[in-house]
Amino acid sequence: MKTIRNRDACTGSGATAQVVKDRQLNKRNAFIHGPFKARLANRANATLGFSLALLATLSGCALAPGSYMGAPPAQTANAQSGSEPQVTEVVQDGITFRLHSLNGDLIARLSSQPDGVVPTSLRLPAGTPSAYRVRSGDSLRVIVWDRPELNNPGFSALNTSIVSIGGTESASVPSATAGGNLDPVGRVVQPDGSIYFPYIGKVKVAGETIDAIRADLTSRLNKVVKNPQLDVTVSSYRSQKIYVSGAVRAPGSLALTDTPETVADAISGAGGYSAGADLAGATLNRGGKVFPLDLYAFFYNGDLSQNVLLKDGDVVNVPERRFKKVFVLGEVTKPVSQVMPVGVLTLSEAISDAGGLNQLSANASQVYVFRQGPNRTVDVFHLDATSPGMLVLADQFLLQPRDVIFVDAAHVTRFYRVVSQILPFASALYLGAEAFK
């Protein structure tokens, strides 16, 4: 009996432990499948509801992906229809944005303004032709007629009408006679600016014109030779140079001669400008001071004021046009940065080269041109291209280098982009909630 009783007691104790364990398991399952599941589902539904509500309010919100100008067209409608220009200024991050509405009056006003007022100190010097002055390094040819002993020794023995110079025959050189009246070698002006001449000695010639040198030598030689017939020419110009650099076919140096050298002569001597040359942005560097040089106005509009006379040491630089770009961004078929062509580029041309406005995503009423101004200012020109006829007006708006054209996105496009960003997250929450049902 005692043994049976103990067995029952053990059995009852084991059953009691099993019952306790089952109760704990039931409580845990009830917690997971009950309040916890309900709370999780409520959170998912709340998040989903919040996401859907957010979608309804983010169509014009700054949280939407991509660039967005956000200036309501209503602010500029009056300015485009009226003649009074209205300018709206907005300061952001220390930069002042000035919003202008594009209309006929504004374009006429911009077209009448010069590209830029050149300060008087940077205007091209006029310059006048002057006689060539000999310097160290030049080679002079001095001829004394009927006095062969005063000319180059050894050449006077020649008696021919054709002189061979540099391995080629030339009939343009004065003929050499038995009198020895030609000096083909020349006399090089020394670093101290002098030359040596028989019976006279060293003669200072640097800084003098050819006429002055001839008169000086004649006067000095007259003490030895009665009434000398003397001629002086420059046989080699080596002391004065100008330089042409940049987008030309043969950049380098050119020797200045007794013929006045102009900018056109320098460009021609360098082989002409290349296809990618920025003619309007050329410069002339003289004595460390840089002067603007508009070669486009000279070559295409005949502005002779740009064809100035050059001096020793002048540097004519023709930059490449690839640095002059405009940028077309936003809702266009093909966003692009394009090099400005030779001449002018209009807003309509730039948009057309970018494939035109994207008909599915562009907001044609918000086309903007950003142009950097002085003192941390940016001029923003707004064009309402809802009517295709406004593109005729845009064809009169001339672009400048580094202009940025931005076509804003339509509201429905921005709403779609917000949905595409948030919908995957909201769907994940909803599917997670469904998994616990």
pLDDT in tens, 222-259: 998 888 999 999 989 999 999 999 999 999 999 999 99
- What pTM, to 2 d.p., does this model score? 0.64
Confidence of residue 95 (pLDDT cuts 50, 70, 90): confident
The interaxial angle of helices 411-435 and 37-57, nearest 10 deg, is: 180
pLDDT in tens, 352-375: 999 999 888 888 888 999 999 888
Quick check: do 74-115+323-415 and 139-236 share a fold? Answer: no
Question: Which pLDDT belongs to residue 296?
Answer: 92
CB 343 within 8 A of CB 297: no
121 pLDDT higher than 80: no
100 pLDDT higher than 60: yes
Question: Which pLDDT belongs to residue 245?
Answer: 96
Q: What is the DSSP string of 152-169?
A: -TTTTT--BS-EEETTEE
Question: Which pLDDT belongs to residue 101?
Answer: 86
Question: Which pLDDT belongs to residue 176?
Answer: 37
73 pLDDT higher than 60: no
| In the chain, where the domains are located | 74-115+323-415, 120-124+249-321, 139-236
Highest mean pLDDT among 7-11, 53-57, 314-318: 314-318
Contacts of residue 193, defined as CB under 8 A and 6 or more positions apart, other chains included, come to: 135, 136, 204, 205, 206, 207
310 pLDDT higher than 60: yes
Question: Which pLDDT belongs to residue 174?
Answer: 42
Mean pLDDT for 205-213 is 95
- Class assignment of domain 120-124+249-321? alpha beta
Type of residue at 150: L
Angle at the Cα of 89 from the Cα atoms of 86 and 93, rounded to 5 degrees: 165
Q: Does domain 139-236 have CATH number 3.30.1950.10?
A: yes
264 pLDDT higher than 80: yes
Mean pLDDT for 158-186 is 42
CATH superfamily assigned to domain 74-115+323-415: Outer membrane lipoprotein wza domain like (3.10.560.10)
Contacts of residue 201, defined as CB under 8 A and 6 or more positions apart, other chains included, come to: none
Distance CA 313, CA 317 (A): 13
Residue of 155, 150, 192, 190 lying closest to 174 (CA atoms) = 155
Question: Which pLDDT belongs to residue 434?
Answer: 59
Kindly report the average pLDDT of the chain as a whole number.
76
Question: Which pLDDT belongs to residue 282?
Answer: 95
